[in-house]
Structure 1
């Protein structure tokens, strides 16, 4: 008699009562174990015997000895109990947040500057959580959250989309990355006029951050014309790290590319970009996603504090 056939004839609670009586050899002991009354146990056993059409116990010296049929029945039903226990354990793990998955998307700047440390720490703390990371341009990152491919996206200076809700994580300041021997390194604040005619690398005007830099130049009567344009600010910072020019980037990208001999100076006017978590507007984020966002925010707050402390004083 297979487990599926047993399940069609008897429910799991009836099988559990049968197992308890076999274990304790008395209906009283089974009743205490299951928190039921003794008459309920006896009635259930009689009902099972009626359904099956054969006896399950013989009374021997005031104890109930299981028949061979009862033992075979319990052996066949054991997979049902194992499955129940596994489901209960999985439910407990889910409730405690020990298992699950998190699908994360971000632009390249965040994937390089913050997420590796956050993901590594999270994976150590929750080894049974499956984490995936998609690194894409801003439009694509927002789209994968809208389409349900990602649970959350971390983005800089995102624009409004009807299907998305943005949870502010931190504001990022615009900075100038340059060589410590460059005259810019001795300035308290680097302005568009200081960058005029300089070999500069920065975000392309085709994206929002590039437009924000262009507006700040235009307000000073200057054109924003980087000699080298990049889609992602971490790429701009890496070019300066390799020894060419100066870069206008966000502070996280600048410090990710730091090496001995480079410095970061504040950019003026005070230009800031929102670093946000993008979430579906119509779906409540899972507890795992909420916990990951908190871990991300905590890491960003710590990192920004380190970044700003290191860039307070000019060189020389």
Structure 2
């Protein structure tokens, strides 16, 4: 019989004991409050207030109604708070997919910082090969995927977050370490570990070598760039990978040397085409982009300074 707004008016009049006080509390006019009270009494068929010395004293019936309706106000307040939390990005869910390189080089720090600021958010991270990562977004199993050197897919849109440069990771004792830049000719002379040509990054490296007149034939092939960088970290060979992956594997005794002619890879967020990302997904992408930008700034400063 009564809606929540009518109960809210009744509650305000009981609280302030005057229609003027209730009107100020609810942002209504005093005549509107008086009219609403009379209407409620007509609908219910009994009086809700007695006027005593210009004050409205609630009847027992009015107090019983308020007692019964109090859980409704708690529920409304909870819903409003939840809406405010969602708007501010304090709660929600984000499903993230990524290739192994980014899961190692960037995402741990991004996730740690993000969850510190948004402790009530539920976050899931899937680490897979590039094709599988893109499929998770296409199939609705992930809200966003972070990938390097993706290729066009009809069901996806890409948001470029950064452009990564190819660099050589090698020992400081290697002759390459004394060069300002390395070329395909220099790399084919050294024991090399690198991405296999059956994946996107390996194919791009192979094409860069071929453009310089050389074949890309690493002695050790890996599916992921971070695996190649880890092998060099353990003391064998050299590798050509993106700069974030190289710096993640750095240790004392290793150096990073730029590759020429410049070879770059787009670091992108893959999103389902035709679907607006959730607020939480948008916030996470922004946090990822900011972190990558800062990290690249520091890495490039260290390379040029070294």
Answer whether contact 1:145 1:153 (CA < 8 A) is retained: yes
CA distance in 1, matches of 2:177, 2:36: 85
CA-based RMSD of the aligned residues comes to 2.0
Aligned-pair distance for 1:79? Answer: 0.8
Residue in 1 that maps onto 2:174: 182
Q: How many residues are matched?
A: 306
Q: Which runs of 5+ in 2 are unaligned?
A: none
Residue in 2 that maps onto 1:135: 127
CA distance in 2, matches of 1:300, 1:29: 54
Q: For 1:296, which of 288, 303, 306 is the aligned residue?
A: 288
* 1:282 aligned onto 2:283: no
Residue in 1 that maps onto 2:40: 48
CA distance in 1, matches of 2:167, 2:4: 66
Aligned-pair distance for 1:313? Answer: 6.9
CA distance in 1, matches of 2:31, 2:257: 82
Q: For 2:70, which of 53, 78, 81 is the aligned residue?
A: 78
Identify the range of structure 1 (195-204 vs 273-282) with the bigger mean alpha-carbon deviation: 195-204
Answer whether contact 1:188 1:313 (CA < 8 A) is retained: no
SS of 2:77's equivalent? helix
Answer whether contact 1:164 1:278 (CA < 8 A) is retained: yes
Residue in 2 that maps onto 1:216: 208
Normalized against structure 2, the TM-score is what? 0.92
SS of 2:304's equivalent? coil
Q: For 2:147, which of 152, 155, 175 is the aligned residue?
A: 155
Normalized against structure 1, the TM-score is what? 0.89
Aligned-pair distance for 1:300? Answer: 1.4
Aligned-pair distance for 1:185? Answer: 1.3
* 1:66 aligned onto 2:58: yes
SS of 2:161's equivalent? strand
CA distance in 2, matches of 1:242, 1:161: 37
Answer whether contact 2:170 2:176 (CA < 8 A) is retained: yes
* 1:191 aligned onto 2:187: no
CA distance in 2, matches of 1:196, 1:59: 97
CA distance in 2, matches of 1:31, 1:310: 65
SS of 1:235's equivalent? helix
Residue in 2 that maps onto 1:4: none
Answer whether contact 2:182 2:257 (CA < 8 A) is retained: yes
1:252-267 correspondence to structure 2 within 5 Å: 252-267=244-259
Residue in 2 that maps onto 1:100: 92
SS of 1:273's equivalent? strand
Q: Which runs of 4+ in 1 moved over 4 A?
A: none
Answer whether contact 2:14 2:57 (CA < 8 A) is retained: yes
Q: Which runs of 5+ in 1 are unaligned?
A: 1-8
Answer whether contact 2:89 2:283 (CA < 8 A) is retained: no
Residue in 2 that maps onto 1:237: 229
Answer whether contact 2:100 2:224 (CA < 8 A) is retained: yes
SS of 2:93's equivalent? strand
CA distance in 2, matches of 1:305, 1:23: 59
SS of 2:145's equivalent? strand
CA distance in 2, matches of 1:313, 1:19: 69
Answer whether contact 1:191 1:269 (CA < 8 A) is retained: yes
